[in-house]
Amino acid sequence: MNPVVALQALAGAHPDVRRWVIAYSGGLDSEVLLSAATQAFPVSSLLAIHVNHQLQDGAVAWSEHCRQRCTELNVAFVCVIVSPLSSSEQDARNARYQAFADHLGEGDALLMAHHADDQAETLIYRLVRGAGVRGLAAIPTERPFYSSKILRPFLSVSRRTLEAWAHEQHLNWIEDPSNKKEDYARNYIRLRVLPELQTRWPQVVGRLAKTASYMTEADKVLVEVAQQDLHSLLSKCESISVAPLLRLSIPRQHNVLRYWIHQRGGELDESSLQSIRKQLLCEQPSSSASVQVSKTHRICGYRQHLFYLPLTLPLIEVFERQLNMVAGTYTLETGILTIEGECLAIGSVTLIYRQGGERLRPRGRGGSVSLKQLLQEKGIPPWWRENWPVLMMGDTLVAVPSVCFTDNWPNECNLRVIWHPFGLSEEPFFATV
C-alpha cells in the first residue's frame, strides 16, 4: 500500500482528530511517515516530535537533522531531551512515551511508523518469551493514549515497501548504529531470525502479521467473556467472590483473574496464577496468605473473597477531629465518613482511629465486648480493622461507624454513621448500622 494512501484513510476513519502528531526519529520509517503526512494532510495540522534519549554519540546531530528537515517541510517541530533510567530498550521506551504524553492533548493523534516487519519481530519476540493471547496480539493498530490516541497506519506495509517509496521520493534518513547490535533481542530477530525465515518462506512477514490480527480478535473475545464473568463475581467491595469463581471452568477462572488484575495495573504470570490457586483458592486458605502480582500490589483472601491490595498499607499517625452531628461527608486518609441525619442536642464528638484494646457495650447486645472481636464478627478484613475510626464523647467510646452505636449513645439521636474505606466502590459487604 502506498504510504500516502494509508495516511489519507485515517482522516475519514478519525474525524475527531484536529492535529496529527508524528513520532519522528529521523530513521527510514519515520522519515517516510513525515514526508507522506505532508502529502496526505494540511501541513498546518502537523507536529513532529523528536525525542533525544542522550544514549548515542550522534544524538545531538540527529536532533539537528530532524529540525532542519521539518523546517524544509514547514512542519512544526519539538525536540524533547529525556534521561532514561538506563540504556535498556524498556527504559528508553518509557521515557519516550512520557515525552509524547507531555505534548499531547484531546483531539491529537500520535502517528507511529511501525510496519509489518516490526509486527513480525514483536510476535516472534513475545512467542519465545511465552506470551499469552494478549501478548501475541503484538502491536495494536490503534489504542487510547491518555486524552489522545496512538495510530499506526503502516502495520500492514512491509519495510521493503517503505524503503522503495523513500527511494522514489529521494529521501534521506538517519541510520542508527545501535540497530546493528545483535545483543538486543529485537535486533537479533531482525538481523538473524527473520532473514532466515524469509529465505525459506518469502511471505512470512505477512503471515505473521495475519496471525497477530487473529490473536487480536481472540483477545477481544476473551476480554468480553472476562467482563461478563467479572460482573457476576465482583462483590460490593471490589473483591472477587470465590464460590462463584470456582463454579467456572478452570480456563475461565484464569481468564477472569488475569483480566481483573490487568485492569488494576498488575500482571498475572503462570507462577503467580498457580500460587493463587494453591494458597487462596484451596479449601482452607490461611488468613495471612497473599500473592504479589506487581511491584506495588498483592492478592489477599478473606472470608471467601479475593482482594487486590497494596503491598504495604500506609502508616496512620495519631488523628483527632471534632465533628458536629449533622449530615455531611468527611474525607480522611483511609476512607470517607458519611453522616446521615442530624442531632444537634449532643454538640460535637471526637473522631479518632482505634488505638487497640478498646472495649464497648454495643446497643442491644447486653454485654461488653472488645472492639477487635466486634470487627471480626462483622466480617471486616484485618487490613481495614487497624485504621477503623471511632467516635468518642470525652473518654467514652459512643459509636463505631458502619458497625454499632454503644449504650452511651443518646437515644434521641437517630443517625447513620457510615465508614467507607478506600477500596470500596459501593456499600460494604459487611453488616452496617
Q: Where are the beta strands (DSSP E) in 45-100?
A: 46-52, 76-81
Radius of gyration over every alpha carbon of the chain, rounded to an integer in angstroms:
29
Burial of 109 (0-12, 13-18, 19+ CB in 10 A): buried
Angle subtended by helix axes 28-40 and 59-73, to nearest 10: 20
Q: Comparing C-alpha atoms, which of 364, 388, 367 is closest to residue 376?
A: 388
- Is position 294 annotated in a ligand binding site? no
Q: Which amino acid is at 332?
A: L
- Is position 16 annotated in a ligand binding site? no
* Cell of residue 364, nine digits: 442491644
Distance CA 429, CA 415 (A): 20
- Is position 156 annotated in a ligand binding site? no
Q: Comparing C-alpha atoms, which of 4, 186, 156, 171 is closest to residue 89?
A: 186
The gap from C-alpha 210 to its chain's centroid, in whole angstroms, comes to: 27
Distance CA 297, CA 262 (A): 12
- Is position 28 annotated in a ligand binding site? yes
What is the number of other CB atoms lying within 10 angstroms of the CB of residue 340?
Answer: 12
- Is position 357 annotated in a ligand binding site? no
- Is position 30 annotated in a ligand binding site? yes
Residue ranges of the annotated binding site for ATP are 25-30
Residue ranges of the annotated binding site are 25-30
